[in-house]
Chains A and B, each alone.
Chain A
Amino acid sequence: MKTLFFISCLVFSMPSFSAKYGANKIQTLKWNDLEVVWIQDERFPTYALSVYFADGALSDSAGEKGMTSAMFNLLTSGTRRYSQKDISDNLEFYGASYGPNTTHEYSTYSVGGLVKDSIPTMKKICHLFQDATFPKKEISKEKKRALEGIKNMVDSHGALARRAFRQISLEGSPYGYPVSGKMKDVRGITQNRLSKKLKYFNDEVKKRIYIAGPKEVLNLERVIAEDCKWTGKGSYVRKTEYEPIKSSKKAQIVLVTVPKANQAQVRIGRFLNRGEYEKRELLSLASEFLGGGFTSKLMRELRVKRGLTYTVGAFAAGQKGYGRAGISTFTKNETIGELLEVTKSTIDQIVAGEFPDHEFERSRGSLSGSYPFRFEVTSAYLSQLQFLDHIGAPYDELYQFQERVNKMTREQISQVVGDIFGWEKQTVVILGSPKLAKTLKKKFGKVRIVSYKNFL
């Protein structure tokens, strides 16, 4: 009791206002009509730059899935003037980091390094965007490598479970297909298709530049205009229309079989339609309460009380056009039934409001108190601004986060956990030994069984 009181005192002694850490260091600029967001950071002679493209893997039509991701990844495979070796040697000489990230809705290309080398580095990156030829020999080698990588996913049950879970739980939506495609898609990558995709992103897609670093990084304006030739003309922004996915009335159990697996990977979750994921702070708190950190409900029930798993986590979050909720954990084959049962009963208890106040206070304190850490690393700060721009939310949402979390109640958490994580609405994917089928059928009746190969 004494300790609980103590915890409460600590939680309530935190500042009740949300400081706008670093907000005065943010500037929005226009470079040749291109929007630029700059966080000035004079602490280090380094910079981080990210080019945001307002389209992603959803631009890949049926016959060319995975093409956007492949195009960005293969930009360094060669240009008319330089070979792959020349390009990588040049960029690595500066110690630069560079590379893409493709999501369904948008893509980014990030570059970082020493400010003094930012101009030659960025000139080289622009050269790739303007002059990449995707040489056939290089593409052929990379396709083989990609195929072997996908085939060998059987060696990483966690990654395989993530991939299968996405496809199964997002079935019927445009977002279930892997961004990088499947093996059959890799075979369809061609020089011509890659070049067309690059042209599309260069000419038509809306771009925005995000930079963190000292004032010298602004010298990149000329490089972006003259070498990348990017202006504000590209205006296409991906929009997606889809029929809302209906919630199931009974949990769907799917066993993805991997021969001889001695551990069961478990993913539980579902697709979130428009109208379900917009209250971002509330979803964050529900996830935190259910499966955030070492003190979450599921961590206490599964690991601390029963030793069923090494780790468990939960998330519920939205992108621009859709959202996802999920619980991720694993256990030994023998305890899969118990793990699922405890997970279900934990969710049920939260929905019924059967949890002490101090547990709720702890989660709320955790989320609220972690607020300043979001501003510690400038490149991470920049990523948050980029995401807010992507979804069309004001930056104030970031600064109001703490205040909004502090106002949330335990009743709201019960409600949102029920709405989002209610057991009957979930798709439960277990990736493991075919032998698990017996236990699962006994427990749940109907179980859909598919081989992991369906997801490669």
Chain B
Amino acid sequence: MKRTLSLLGVILILGLTSCSNNTKEATNPSGKMGKLGKLKLSLDVKKFTLNNGLRVLIVENHRLPIFSYYTFFDVGGRFEGPGTTGATHFLEHMMFKGAKKYGPGKFDSIIESNGGSTNAYTTFDSTVYYQNMPSHTIDTIIDLEADRMENLLLEKVAFDKERDVVLEERKYRYENSSRGKLYLNMMQRMFEGTPYGLSVIGSVEDLLTLNRDQMFDFFKKFYTPDNAIIVVVGNVKASDVMSQIKKKFGDLKPSSDEIKAYKKEKDNDSLYVAKPKWGKHFKYHGNSKNAIFMMAYRGEPLGTRKAYVMDILSNILGSGSSSYFYQKYVKSKSPLLNKISVSNYNLQKNGVFFIGGELRSRTNLDKFRRTLQRETKSVCSKGIDDRGVQKTKNQFLVSYYGSVQDNAGVASFIGSTEKYYGDYKYYEKELEIYDSITTEEVIKVCNEVFSGNQQVFVSVWDRHKKVKGN
């Protein structure tokens, strides 16, 4: 998660400055990242803030007659309350169902008839809308986005139809997918009693009872200019885009003091202190013929130094077929697993570090769980070395070059960094942090993560009993 907010920046800059010396400086001969963090990056982002608080980032790229337009809203699943889980995601669907000027069916029609594409996604911390469009449509896109931010219709008929669609999506992604079910339950067990312990897709009960008025209230609260960031990357003229945005969004009202107070309340760190039932094994029935599992540990919120170290740690232990756990359990003489990976998921207010995998059919689940727990006691001294740290840094570099090959990748990176750190340039700091992380530090953090018995084990298997509600 974090990695998409960090090294991505480096690549982005290198990409946009194309023939500058920066590119050359990055290519040292040793196969190491070396001094990558000290590059003088010169990303040409034009940043504006309107009087109503709307932030706008624009990058001109005239290579092709196209652009990408992203809107980041500072609202996600964690802002929901009991009884309204899934409201943010459901609202995301409804944002495509018509507004005052551009009524039902118009939004998609205008975008697609011009060769563009549009979609959106919702996480616990944010909701993001995006369009990839031919250049000549820039004014129209600005108008469409302003219209739906100000005057969403939320028509009852469309609302009811879309409820069915969301329920089908839920079934597809989580109920009928063992992996989806595993992830959902791991998150709920790790963050029980906190906003992250609810689900972004929502519970079936809440989705069935959520009404239009509740959603409209949610919309009014959070879809305000001071709660949004617009990012435009591509073949546009920044000054023209800015004047058009001012014209269309300039008169929108910012959040009221009451809503600001509500958000502040929801941002209170104490709400996110989780007390998982450490040492427990939670079992869920699913279709998987082989047991799949996640062993989860306390993680870190976005932006802490430890979170960056854990990015490197997760990669060394479980990314790629040369990683420590892959070699230990998948490629050993008598493999116990078919698959394994390690992830570091940093949310805005908390985080989770987890090992996930699929057992071989003859591997005993409980026995493997104990084996893995024992292994974590020694992995830090056995599995982490200079080569692994350097390999990870090299991999990060390459993967982020891959992420910014198009305007959408660039827009996503700048917008995310601005949203989470309040400054799109924060990647420079992140880069310095990654660069400064040593093998000793990774070992130290590894020991902290795996010390004690502070883990939650969740498994899904077709041999687990089916219990009502899961």
A378 at the interface (CB under 8 A from B): yes
A407 to chain B, nearest CB (A): 16
Do B105 and A304 touch across chains, with their CB atoms under 8 A apart?
yes
A27 to chain B, nearest CB (A): 19
Residues of B within 8 A of A250 (CB): none
Do A85 and B327 touch across chains, with their CB atoms under 8 A apart?
yes
Do B14 and A365 touch across chains, with their CB atoms under 8 A apart?
no
B441 at the interface (CB under 8 A from A): no
B411 to chain A, nearest CB (A): 13
A340 at the interface (CB under 8 A from B): no
The B316-342 residues at the A interface (CB cut-off 8 A) are 320-322, 327, 330-331, 333, 335, 338
Subset of 25 A-B contacts with CB under 8 Å: A3-B102, A3-B110, A14-B134, A42-B19, A44-B23, A44-B405, A88-B321, A97-B398, A114-B398, A145-B338, A149-B338, A155-B286, A156-B177, A157-B176, A262-B171, A262-B175, A263-B168, A263-B171, A293-B108, A293-B117, A303-B165, A310-B169, A310-B172, A369-B113, A379-B405
Interface stretch among B51-59, B216-224, B287-295, B367-375?
B287-295
Residues of B within 8 A of A154 (CB): 287, 289
Closest to B133 in A: A369
B27 at the interface (CB under 8 A from A): yes
Residues of A within 8 A of B109 (CB): 3, 7, 295, 362
Closest to B30 in A: A116
A-B contacts, CB under 8 A, total: 210
Residues of chain A at the chain B interface (Cβ within 8 Å): 3, 6-7, 10-11, 13-15, 21, 42-46, 76, 84-85, 88-89, 92-97, 112-117, 120, 137, 141, 144-145, 148-149, 151-152, 154-157, 261-263, 293-295, 300, 303-310, 330-332, 361-363, 365-373, 375-379
The B151-181 residues at the A interface (CB cut-off 8 A) are 158, 160-165, 168-169, 171-172, 175-178
**Whole-angstrom CA separation of A11 from B113 in the bound complex:** 7
- Return the contact of A372 from the options B14, B134, B165 (Cβ within 8 A): B134
Do B113 and A366 touch across chains, with their CB atoms under 8 A apart?
yes
Interface stretch among B74-82, B246-254, B263-271, B387-395?
B387-395
- Return the contact of A152 from the options B288, B330, B395 (Cβ within 8 A): B288
**Whole-angstrom CA separation of A379 from B402 in the bound complex:** 10
Do A332 and B106 touch across chains, with their CB atoms under 8 A apart?
no
- Return the contact of B112 from the options A88, A96, A112, A366 (Cβ within 8 A): A366
Do B28 and A307 touch across chains, with their CB atoms under 8 A apart?
no
Do A96 and B113 touch across chains, with their CB atoms under 8 A apart?
no
Closest to B169 in A: A310
B128 at the interface (CB under 8 A from A): no
Knowing A148-B290, A155-B287, A263-B176, the reply to whether A366 touches B394 (Cβ < 8 A) is no
Knowing A93-B387, A94-B394, the reply to whether A14 touches B136 (Cβ < 8 A) is yes
B378 at the interface (CB under 8 A from A): no
Residues of B within 8 A of A7 (CB): 109-110, 113
**Whole-angstrom CA separation of A42 from B16 in the bound complex:** 11
A330 to chain B, nearest CB (A): 7
B144 to chain A, nearest CB (A): 11
Residues of B within 8 A of A362 (CB): 109, 112-113
If A93-B391, A366-B112 are given as contacts, then 16 extra A-B residue pairs at C-beta distance below 8 Å, sorted by A number, are: A10-B136, A11-B114, A44-B405, A94-B31, A97-B402, A113-B398, A155-B287, A262-B175, A305-B161, A306-B161, A307-B163, A307-B164, A361-B113, A369-B115, A369-B134, A371-B115
Q: 4 smallest A-B Cβ distances: which pairs?
A: A369-B115, A307-B164, A95-B398, A307-B161
B183 to chain A, nearest CB (A): 14
Q: Mark B393-418, 1 if CB is under 8 A from A, else 0.
A: 01111110110011100000000000
A293 to chain B, nearest CB (A): 5
Do A96 and B108 touch across chains, with their CB atoms under 8 A apart?
no
B5 to chain A, nearest CB (A): 19
Residues of A within 8 A of B26 (CB): 45
Do A376 and B320 touch across chains, with their CB atoms under 8 A apart?
no
Q: Mark B110-122, 1 if CB is under 8 A from A, else 0.
A: 1011111110000
B196 at the interface (CB under 8 A from A): no
